[in-house]
Amino acid sequence: MKGLDAPFYTVALGDTISQKDLLVSSVDHNQVVFLGNDFRIIVNIEAVGSAGANSRLTVLHKGKTVFSKVIDINDSDFRLSIPVDLTAAEKGRQKYVIGLTPLAGEVTEKNNTATIFTEVLDNRQKILLLAAAAHPDLGALKQALESNQQYEVDIRLATSGLNDLQIKPYSLVILHQLPSASHQLPALLQAIRQEQLPAWYITGNQTDLAALSRAQEAVAFSRFNGSYNEVFAVADPSFYLFTIPGEIRNRFSAFPPLTAPFCEISPKGPAVTLFSQRIGTVATERPLMLFSTLEGTRTAWLFGEGIWRWRLHDFRLNGNHDAVNSLVNMTVQYLAAREDTRRFRLSMPKAVFSENEKVTFTAELYNESYEAVTGPDIRITIKDQQNNTFPFIFSKGTNRYHLDAGILPAGEYTYIAEVKLGGETSRASGTFVIVPQHAEELQTTANHQLLFSIAENSGGQMLYPAETDRLYELISEKETISPVIYEQERYRELINLKWLFFLLLAFLGVEWLLRKQNGLY
């Protein structure tokens, strides 16, 4: 209401005395969870004038009770937050109904239930962490990756044999000190190249640098005499592939050194350096961590072992692992990012709307050269649970399409969008939910103070029911309230006025008759 430059006149109706009521005031929950994970919702309960009573809280999923607990109400103004742990056992949009058994004499029972929707996704990416031998770096990397529920990490050691290893299920492989003198793994490294699988190479004392140079085409090693240096990280301010917050990025310069080979490191193609090496107090141009891309395949390089020291030092200084977790997760996110090759892409700002919100869509269409086009019409049909259909056509923008479907009734909806480009028909489908809003049922006690504040702050006035006759007088006396007259000019061509055409034709006919009678023809 702050955006409306107009006075409000309110009428103080309703009972200001609190009445007996039990309600689910709100439910805190994640909109998205991953398949197979446990997740928690927080149910917030309030009760007024119900001390000494008890109720039962239940959570239903597909009609089955997945949680139940007795609630003892011990105060006349009772508030309680209850954590409920659930398991995402099915993918897709899952509906949960939270309910409280009613109390005798409640003013309303409509606010005893609440419905939430959670999207369960099954797009976790599998990461293969392959190492020459057991090393504390492996635990540090695994813990950092598993801080993100989107990643599932498998650790395999070359010492245990890799005859049964299949790389196709994985989105990324992290090679720790491989290939080594004992484990060259030519077939595996060749398969990684053929599958164009993103890889993160971490070198160490066991790495066979000559074999590693031959196994890939991104980085070459030369002038290695078998010696290693303790090197510190120096962040490159011009790094742009992803963003590490400045406060976190600055931590790395104070972290313990990594063990890096003393050799020349030469990228064979385009490369971007994140960290360079500092030996003692001398900053060098040798990279410590860099990223390269060849033929569309991304690789990352960390030319030093001992990242576990970084993780321990981070916790000792800051009480958390944010720096290492951010570095590892952003590196993996960049490497394993999947390119969207769809030529027709349809998106919504969210999947769950309130019933007073407009439902909107955005679409993108690309030709065979992956240039955005907006020529063909995109048609969409929205269907509700009663099989009522609502057809729409998207409006066309410069590079994309838009649709404002307006405000729809509460319920669950499905949609199918279709577009034809160059003889090829593309389709996109999905679902969304519109949740009913019952704000008036969450507050059953009249709040006259709120009505007074609204009127006072807007320059209006609060009236009681017996004073409503004064409303017209008060509005009329308000100098800022005055009639507004709108004028609109519209032009029409005379040729479109048919009555005028026939009138002129009639005059011509009468003139012709008069002239003929008077002998003028």
- For residues 275 and 252, the answer to whether their CB atoms sit within 8 Å is yes
Read off the pLDDT of each residue in 130-139 and give the average, rounded to a whole number.
94
* Phi and psi torsions of 161, nearest 5°: 90, 140
Task: Report the sign of the C-alpha dihedral through residues 218, 222, 226, 229, in that order.
Answer: negative
For 322-371, the pLDDT digits (tens) are 999 999 999 998 998 776 778 999 999 888 888 889 999 999 999 988 88
Ranked by mean pLDDT, the top range of 28-37, 241-250, 417-426 is 417-426
For 181-199, the pLDDT digits (tens) are 889 888 888 888 888 899 9
Query: What type of residue is 155?
Result: I
The fraction of the chain above a pLDDT of 90, given in percent, is 48
What are the residue ranges of helices labelled H in 319-410?
322-336
Q: How far apart are CA 351 and CA 369, in angstroms?
A: 31
Neighbours of 195 (CB within 10 A): 13
Query: What type of residue is 433?
Result: V
Residue 163 has a pLDDT of 72
Q: How far apart are CA 108 and CA 102, in angstroms?
A: 9
Task: Report the sign of the C-alpha dihedral through residues 191, 194, 199, 201, in that order.
Answer: positive
* pLDDT surpassing 90 at residue 14: no
Q: Residue 388: how many CA atoms within 13 Å on its side-chain side?
A: 8
* pLDDT surpassing 80 at residue 452: yes
Q: Which H helix or E strand runs over 442?
A: helix 439-442
Ranked by mean pLDDT, the top range of 103-107, 263-267, 467-471, 482-486 is 263-267
Among 26-35, 138-147, 493-502, the least confident range: 493-502
Read off the pLDDT of each residue in 414-441 and give the average, rounded to a whole number.
86
Residue 16 has a pLDDT of 63
Read off the pLDDT of each residue in 425-444 and give the average, rounded to a whole number.
78
* pLDDT surpassing 90 at residue 136: yes
- For residues 228 and 199, the answer to whether their CB atoms sit within 8 Å is no
Q: How far apart are CA 295 and CA 272, in angstroms?
A: 16
Residue 228 has a pLDDT of 94
Examine residue 179 and say whether the peptide bond preceding it is cis (omega within 30 degrees of 0): yes
pLDDT band at 423 (very low <50, low <70, confident <90, very high): confident
* pLDDT surpassing 70 at residue 438: no
Query: What type of residue is 97?
Result: V
Query: What type of residue is 108?
Result: T
Under DSSP, is residue 467 helix (H, G, I), strand (E, B) or coil? helix
* pLDDT surpassing 80 at residue 443: no
* pLDDT surpassing 90 at residue 6: no
Neighbours of 4 (CB within 10 A): 8
| Higher-pLDDT residue of 472, 66 | 66
Q: How far apart are CA 25 and CA 442, in angstroms?
A: 6
Task: Report the sign of the C-alpha dihedral through residues 144, 147, 150, 153, in that order.
Answer: positive
Under DSSP, is residue 106 helix (H, G, I), strand (E, B) or coil? coil
